[in-house]
Amino acid sequence: MSIIVDNDTRLVVSGLTGREGSFHGLRNRDYGTDLVAGVTPGKGGQDVDGVPVFDSIAEAVEVGANTSMIFVPARFAAAAVEEAIDAGVGTVIAITEGIPVLDMLGVYWKAKEAGVRLIGPNCPGVLSPGKANVGIIPAHFFEQGSIGVVSKSGTLTYQIGNELAQAGLGNSTIVGIGGDPIIGSDFIDVLELFEADEETELIVMVGEIGGDAEERAAEFIAESVSKPVIAYIAGFTAPPGKQMGHAGAIISGSSGTAEAKKEALEAKGVAVGRSPTEAAQLAVETLAARA
Amino acid sequence: MDLLEYQGKQLFAKHDLPVPEGRHAASVEEAVAAAEQVGFPCVVKAQVAIGKRGKAGGIKIAKDGSEAREHAEAILGMDIRGFTVHDLWIEQASQIASEYYASIVLDRSAKKLLAMLSRMGGMDVEEMAEKDPAALVRRHIEPSEGFGPEHAGQIAVDAGIDEDVQGQVAEVLMELREVALAEDATLIEVNPLIVTEDRRVVALDAKVTIDNNALFRHEDLAELRDPSAEDPQEQMAKERGLTYVKLGGNIGILGNGAGLCMSTLDVVAQAGGEPANFLDAGGGSKAEAIVAALEVITSDPNVDAVLFNIFGGITRCDEVARGIIEAFRRIEIEVPLVVRLDGTNSEEGLKLLADAGIANLTVEKTMLGAAEKVVELANA
């Protein structure tokens, strides 16, 4: 089945006429994703390699778009997400890094109220191998399979995913939830989807310092997730008070440490790998034991 | 970005939040002149990005010009737990009747702003929580409800604020929220928020954190970034558009992607090493970025060995290899470099490195193997 993106995804890319937007949008199309439109205000009527460009997302929805990818500069991105929500798409995937967090505060509640699934921002997107790729995840590393991956990181996910692939294991869906402090979908939101997905047998969760999303996920897993979950947490070596790349990756006072997240997860029976390699190994072993 | 106290107070003043009269000074002469203007008694306050200045001798009352001079001389240049005092704030002394605590902070877990108020101010939040946890009133601001006099007023009542100043305190809370929204502040803390002897509510301190992502729309705040407060490598990295954090160890690290980089630090530490820095080369790193990264890392005199951990997705390993080869051409790199190249175009990248035949460069296949190797080389 897979989650969030699949064969029914009909994609509109905000920013398709830009350098990054066109590179990744067309890459998604070449992978097999149904790219129906691009949006750049003022460039309606143009096309990018045959893909029609409109002035607004609403026009793209009229020609069937149901999923919106936002590849627009940070200063305009929150407004673009809001436009997508207003236009009636069911899913918005915001790749853009650098959106002011107080903008995201408003956007988050708007999406929630409208019942729109928002992924990101500051995320690599969502890949369901063999079906659709929306974002910048390099799909050639991944095969279709039964391991769901949900991660705050990009390249760290590729590292773990690659190790799984080398062990012959594929993925149902890989979801990059993003590294910002306020994101549209947390671990819990995606774990819920994986739990309900027939194709997913085991879930790998990749977290990092900052906030308490992993701790809350641990509670949720104990209460509502029957499938095995393996975790990896990055940032044991990060000093407090310093932003480590991602806007959300910062330890405030004593909260948001990697140690606290690891303890919370282990207390609820989630195995936490000490390295990406070990996390992948644990997933391989757990799946083999169930076979 | 954390603002210094006086910068926070200037922001408050801009939004009509009551603050004591004050002047900035960066030299003893300026401090004395400022004290004359502000009047006596005044308070000479060290301006550093760290708390507990008073305990360190960084806050002193001056009753006349010669005391102002004496204190300015003592405090300017003082080291307060690793921070050097370059700036002073000379402020009118206040007659304090009560000290409260007020803050507005972004609660990322609840995804809402959180207003906090306590009648027990002038001490750590931790101390407050210990002494009388019920005294701290915490209330989320509901996005759909806003934050008007009813909301703020109720908080003041619940916090047990003196009746005659509840209205002023509620005003302050509402204004703090206005400042947060207008200036993209994710934290505004006033500790203490005082009531003066003549029953006026005044912000005696200001701790403000501005969202870095929003600086593009606050030119005045972006200009405040104090370069002297930053570490030379962090300065260098910023100029080259690299994300760098100094950690103090002896193994320089580069990774592509913040998560992968943090993971690399952890894996090196597990192997017994001490990372010197975090450096995210970012997605799609071109050769120039790699050269710049190596320049920054090797300019740190503590670095004895360097690890490049690359898993190329959008980033191409042959580009990274070209960057490494170019760096060795342009700069003197005397320390050993361990490179792990995996992912997109890794074969081409590895071939380029092999052909370049750089003496102090070792290639490792796996992330764990590379970590162990660099620790070995750093200890040699």
Inter-chain contact A179–B259, Cβ cutoff 8 Å? yes
Q: Where in chain B is the domain with CATH 3.40.50.261?
A: 230-379
Contacts of B270 in chain A (CB under 8 A): 274-275
Is residue B306 within 8 A of residue B298, CB to CB? The reply is: yes
| pLDDT at B29 (0 to 100) | 96
Look at B367 and A152 and tell me if their CB atoms are within 8 Å.
Answer: no
Residue ranges, chain A, pLDDT below 50:
none
Q: What is the CATH number of domain B96-222?
A: 3.30.470.20
- Give pLDDT, residue A290: 85
Which of B81, B104, B208, B260 is the best substitution to test chain A (most A C-beta atoms within 10 A)?
Answer: B260
Tell me the three state secondary structure of residue A139: helix
A114 in the same domain as A37: yes
Q: Give the residue among A65, A185, A174 at the shortest CA–CA distance from A119.
A: A185
Claim to verify: residue A113 and residue A148 sit in the same structural domain = no
**Architecture of the domain delimited by B21-92:** 2-Layer Sandwich (3.30)
Q: Is A171 inside a domain boundary?
A: yes
Give the position of tokens 């403000």.
Answer: B208
10 Å Cβ neighbour count for A16?
30
| Minimal C-alpha gap between A83 and chain B (Å) | 19
Give the pLDDT confidence score for residue B117 in this predicted structure.
97
Give residue B295's pLDDT.
93
Show residues of chain B in contact with A74, CB under 8 Å.
213, 216
- B267 and A236 in contact by Cβ < 8 A? no
Nearest residue on chain A to B371, alpha-carbon basis: A275
A104, A177: one domain:
no
Range of the domain at A284: 142-290
The fold adopted by the segment(s) B230-379 is: Rossmann fold (3.40.50)
Q: Across the interface, which of B216, B275, B311 has its CB nearest the CB of A158?
A: B311
Residue A176 maps to a domain: yes
Report chain B residues whose CB lies below 8 A from the CB of A258: 266
Contact B211 A237 (CB under 8 A): no
Best B2, B106, B109 member to test A by mutation, with max A CBs in 10 Å, is: B109
d(CA B238, CA B232): 10
pLDDT reported for residue B255: 93
Give B347 to chain A, closest Cα distance, Å. Answer: 15
CATH 3.30.1490.20 residue ranges for chain B: 21-92
pLDDT one-digit tens code per residue, B8-63: 999 999 999 999 999 999 999 999 999 999 999 999 999 998 888 888 999 999 99
Q: Strand B83-84 relative to strand B79-80: parallel, antiparallel, unpaired?
A: antiparallel
Give B313's contacts in chain A (Cβ within 8 Å). Answer: 124, 136-138, 141, 154-155, 158
List the catalytic residue out of A24, A117, A152, A246. Answer: A246
CATH code, A159 = 3.40.50.261
Looking at residue B126, its pLDDT comes to: 77
B-interface mutation test, from A102, A149, A152, A153, most B Cβ less than 10 A away? A102
Whether residue A4 is contained in a domain is answered as no
* Phi, psi at B96, each rounded to 5°: -95, 120
Does A152 share its domain with A109?
Answer: no
Give pLDDT, residue B310.
Answer: 94
Are residue A167 and residue A267 in the same domain, yes or no?
yes
pLDDT of residue B380: 87
pLDDT digits (tens, 9 = 90+) for A177-186: 999 999 999 9
Q: How far is A62 from chain B (nearest CA, A)?
A: 30
* Per-residue confidence (pLDDT) for residue B198, from 0 to 100: 96
Do A264 and A172 fall within a single domain? yes
Q: What angle do CA B13, A243, A127 make, to 5 degrees?
A: 120
What residue ranges of chain B have pLDDT lower than 50?
Answer: none
Contact B278 A206 (CB under 8 A): no
Do A90 and A193 fall within a single domain?
no
| Token code pair at residue A124 | 């690599």
Closest residue, chain B, to A139 (C-alpha): B313
Q: Which residues in chain B have Cβ-Cβ distances shorter than 8 Å to A27?
A: none
Tens-place pLDDT, residues A182-204: 999 999 999 999 999 999 999 99
The reported pLDDT for the residue numbered B359 is 92
Provide the pLDDT for residue B283: 66
pLDDT (0 to 100) of residue B228 = 57
**B259 with A245: Cβ contact below 8 A:** yes
Residue of B nearest to A208 (CA): B259
First to last CA, chain A: 20
Domains contained in chain A, number: 2
Q: Does A159 share its domain with A269?
A: yes
Chain B: residue whose CA lies nearest to A242: B245
Taking CA atoms, A121 is separated from A71, B105, B253, in Å, by: 10, 21, 27
Q: Looking at this protein, which amino acid is placed at residue B67?
A: E
